[in-house]
Chains A and B, each alone.
Chain A
C-alpha cells in the first residue's frame, strides 16, 4: 500500500446521518487507482450510501448530513468551492436497475457529453465518432450500430446496462461507481457485464457493490467488507476471501448473515 501512487478515493472519518439515523461511521478508506474494488456486506449496511457520497448525490435529500472528507484524485470534493457538476463528470455512476433515458441509443450516449459541452460547436461527425467509441468500448457497437436511433428502453437489460456504462465514457470520468450493476440481470448477462467491467479495468478506478460473493471474488482486485455502517475489513480480494482477519467477515462470506 505504501508504494502505491496516491489513491483515487481517499475518505477520512466519513460519517453520514439520514436525519437522526447514522448510516456511516468513521469510514476511512483508500481506494486504489485503476483497480476494481468490490464492496460487500449485508443488506442495509451502508454500501449504497457510501457509494452515493462519492459523487455527492446523497445531498439531493435535504435531511442528509455528512462530516469528514472525501478526496477524489487528491481533491476534497466537499470543499466549498467545488462545483457538483464537475464532481459528477469525474465520478460516474451505474445503478442497480439499468436506467437508460427514454431517448434514442445515440442520444443517451451524447447526453452527458452535450451537457458538459453546451454552447460548443460539435459537428455531427464528431458526435458519430463519440458514439462509436463509447459503444465499442462497452462491446455493444456490433449489436446496436444499425439501430442507433431506436429507443434505448427497448434494448435487453444487459444491453441497457452496458449502455448506461457507455454513456458515462464520453466525458472521460476517472472513477466509476457501480451499485449492484448485475443484480437485475440473468446469469449469462451478468457474466457479459462482468467481463466488460474487467475490460475497463486499468482505465478507470471502479468501485462495485455486489451481493454476489462469487462475483466479488473473481472480478475484483480488492475487497471491502462493511457491517452496520462501519468498514470491517479492506484488503486484497484473495486475502479477504481466503484468510479474513475478522470473524464477521468470515461469517458473512460463508453465508451466515443475510
Chain B
C-alpha cells in the first residue's frame, strides 16, 4: 500500500540529481578560495616574519619589509572611517527613521543604490577632481581617504538602514505611544538594538576599503616613500598599491615577495571580518528579544 509508485521513484531520482548539482556548485565555489589561500600561504608564507612587517622596503623594493605600506593602509582606513561612518549612519537614520515615504526619498534611495554600483576608478577620478584639485588637498592621505569614504558611503548607508529596519516596528510604536520623540526612540531603543548590525556592516566595509587600489592610486598613495606619514596631508604607501607595484612595476623582485604582500593584505581583511563576526555574536548574545 505504501510502496513507491513510478512517479515517486522518478521524483527521487530528480531530487538526487538536483542535490548533487547544487553540491558540485558549492564545491566549485569553495575550491578557488582554498586554492588562493593555499598558494598564498605556500608561496608567501616563508618570507613573512616580524621583520617583514616592521621594516622598510630595500634595494628598489626588491627586498626588505612592508612597514610603511602597512601603516599607510591603517591611516587610510581610519581616516576614511572617521568620515564615512558618522555621515553614513546619520543619513541612514534620517532615511529610515525620519523621512516620509515620498518621491524625494525614493529618488535619494535610488541614487544611493546606484552610487554603490559606480566603478571605483570613477570614484578615483572624482577624488582627483574634487579633493586633490578643487579643495587643494593635493595627493594626500586626506584626499585618498575622502575618496574612499565617498566610495563606501552608499554601502554604509544601505547596511545601516538594513540594521535599523531589522528593529521591529512595534518597539518604535510603543515608544511613540509613550510620548517619546523620534530621537529618544532612536537613542534608547533603535540604536541599542541595531548597533551590532551597523558595526558589522561598517567593519565589512572597512575590509573592502583596505583592499582598494584604484581610488587611492591617484589621490594619495605613493609608489615608494621611505618614511611614514606625519599628518593627513602627507602622501603614503599602501598595501594594495604596493602589491600592484611589486607584482608588475619593478624589475627583479623575488618571486615570493608579491605573494607575501598579498598574504598580509588578506590577513588584514580576514582579521577584520573575524572581528566583525565576533562582535556580532557578542552583541547578539546581549540582545533582549
Contact = CB atoms under 8 A, between A and B. Distances in A.
Interface of A: 55, 57, 60, 62, 84-86, 88-89, 92-93, 95, 97, 99-103, 111-112, 115-116, 118, 151-153, 164, 167-168, 171
B248 interface: no
A62 B189 contact: no
Given A95-B170, A99-B171, A101-B189, A55 B289 contact: no
Contacts of A99: 168, 170-171, 173-174
B100 A62 contact: yes
Given A88-B179, A89-B179, A115 B184 contact: yes
Contact of A164 (B101, B168, B174, B193): B174
Interface string B270-289: 00000000000000000111
Contacts of B170: 95, 97, 99
Contacts of B173: 57, 95, 99
A239 B218 CA distance: 83
Interface of B: 100-102, 168, 170-171, 173-181, 184, 188-189, 192-193, 287-289
A101 B177 contact: no
B135 to A, nearest CB: 38
A88 B176 contact: yes
Contacts of A84: 179
Given A62-B101, A102-B189, A115-B184, A92 B175 contact: no
- In the complex, the 8 A-B pairs of residues with the closest C-beta atoms, listed nearest first: A112-B178, A102-B288, A62-B100, A99-B170, A88-B179, A151-B288, A93-B177, A153-B289
30 contacts: A62-B102, A88-B177, A88-B178, A88-B179, A92-B177, A93-B177, A95-B170, A95-B174, A99-B174, A101-B171, A102-B171, A102-B189, A102-B193, A102-B289, A103-B189, A111-B175, A111-B188, A112-B178, A112-B179, A112-B180, A115-B180, A115-B181, A116-B179, A118-B184, A151-B288, A152-B288, A153-B289, A167-B178, A168-B178, A171-B179
A103 B178 CA distance: 15
Most chain A beta-carbon neighbours within 10 Å: one of B174, B175, B178: B178
Given A88-B177, A88-B178, A93-B177, A102 B188 contact: no
A84 B179 CA distance: 8
A100 B179 contact: no
B100 A103 contact: no
Contacts of A60: 176
A76 B253 CA distance: 81
A246 B224 CA distance: 90
A112 B179 CA distance: 7
Nearest to B99: A62
A101 B179 contact: no
Nearest to A90: B179
Nearest to B102: A62
Contacts of A171: 178-179
A29 B103 CA distance: 37
Contacts of B102: 62
Contacts of B184: 115, 118
Contacts of A100: 174
B175 A101 contact: yes
Contacts of A168: 178
